Structure 1
Amino acid sequence: MNPRAHIDALAEALTALRSHSNLLVRWGQGMAERLPAGARLLAAGNGGSAAEAQHLTAELVGRYQADRHPYSAIALCAESSSVTAISNDYGYDEVFARQVTAHGRAGDILVLLSTSGRSTNLLRAAQEGTRCGLTVWAMTGARPNPLADLADETLALPGDACTVQEAQLTAVHILCEAFEAAIGLPAADTRRRVS
């Protein structure tokens, strides 16, 4: 085990993330234009990326830093009855695409998270999202990968699966911070208060 190698790999991914920070700010602004007007955000991923998708939607339905109105956000991977029923009846490749068809409307946002960018169920979701008029954003591992090619815009980061997921969590937080700033909420003071 080499903890320094892990930390160095994460630092490389975060350096790449820093160079894409304007993309996340733009995404946050896009969310701020659409979600308060009634659009929703759908998110999906597999495994650890499913956890990141749920984290994103929880920050929007609950709150990130500021106390504010809740916004419509659904983690498709967390819909356990739908996931198992669709998987059983249509196959796992259709597990997210069918939910996109059911829940997505033109003008909504679909965020797909993947470390490889090659999961067929996410590729099908991207295709269905485009067909239904959703804006498709992807957070993936390094290019080239098919999900990056299908999405309207992609945040692609270097590293192995663990490193990419860790950097994606940071990206999710930056996205939520950008969203809250764009809807006019002040950033929370995260400095420690000394009494």
Structure 2
Amino acid sequence: MKNLILSRIQESIAVKQLLLSDSEFLTSLELVVEKSINTFQTKGKMLFCGNGGSAADAQHIAAELSGRFLLDRDPLFAEALHVNSSYLTAVANDYSFDHVYARMIKAMGNRGDILVCISTSGQSKNIIKAAIEAKNQGLWTIALTGKSGGGLAEITDVAIKVPSTDTARIQECHIMIGHILCELVEQKIFGIGQD
């Protein structure tokens, strides 16, 4: 048991070490942070979508932005698109699950907003459809994926690809990326703790 525990911790560290030396990853994350700051400063919003564990990550990151992360500050408009279960189940039933996020983007997305699409495979049909609809509506799109990026990475404005094919390791990095985003957004917008 102890060996498995140690192995999983070592695997998680190894993926994060790869990110530390990945200049493309660092540049992409800086771009995402800058774009997010600009969006909030111009009264735009960040929307998030994902399935399963990625939906949980979407909700987690949105909550850190809309509630608070490290600072006691005003809320920012950030929302995970799956939180209305009546809407989600109605659209899945009446249309298909592939359309649940795209229809919500069509209803609430505005030019200048951001959609963060979280998919470890980058192949989730409903996430890809959401990204396509977001582009049609004039939103800026971000993919958080695993190593390949899948079809999602090909259609978004920026793709942050975690260099792993292991879902658990990818999701651990996605939440770390979300926390970095939240901290830097807070620092810049609310002017505390800047370096």
Q: Which has the higher contact order (CA 8 A, sep 6+)?
A: 1
1:122-159 deviations in Å (ceiling 9; x for gaps): 01001111111100001001125111111110110122
Deviation at 1:14, TM superposition (A): 1.1
Instruction: Identify if the C-alpha distance between structure 1 residues 22 and 180 changes in structure 2 by more than 3 Å, giving closer, same or farther.
Output: farther
Report matched runs for 1:60-79 at 5 Å: 60-79=65-84
Structure 1: runs of 5+ lacking an equivalent:
189-195
Structure 2: runs of 5+ lacking an equivalent:
none
**Conservation of the 8 A alpha-carbon contact between 1:61 and 1:72:** yes
Report matched runs for 1:50-69 at 5 Å: 50-69=55-74
Report matched runs for 1:68-147 at 5 Å: 68-147=73-152
* 1-structure distance, mates of 2:49, 2:177: 15
Deviation at 1:27, TM superposition (A): 1.5
**Conservation of the 8 A alpha-carbon contact between 2:37 and 2:189:** yes
1:4 correspondence with 2:6: yes
1:148 correspondence with 2:153: yes
Match of 2:28 in 1: 23
Query: Please, what is the CA RMSD of the aligned residues?
Result: 1.5
Amino acid at match of 2:185: F
What's the TM-score once normalised by structure 2's chain length?
0.91
1:13 correspondence with 2:19: no
1:63-108 deviations in Å (ceiling 9; x for gaps): 1111111111110022211111110111000010110111100100
Deviation at 1:185, TM superposition (A): 2.8
Amino acid at match of 2:181: L
Q: Mean Cα displacement is larger for which, 153-162 or 12-21?
A: 12-21
1:1-49 deviations in Å (ceiling 9; x for gaps): 6223322221122123333234323322211111132101110100000
Deviation at 1:184, TM superposition (A): 4.2
Count of residues paired in the alignment = 188
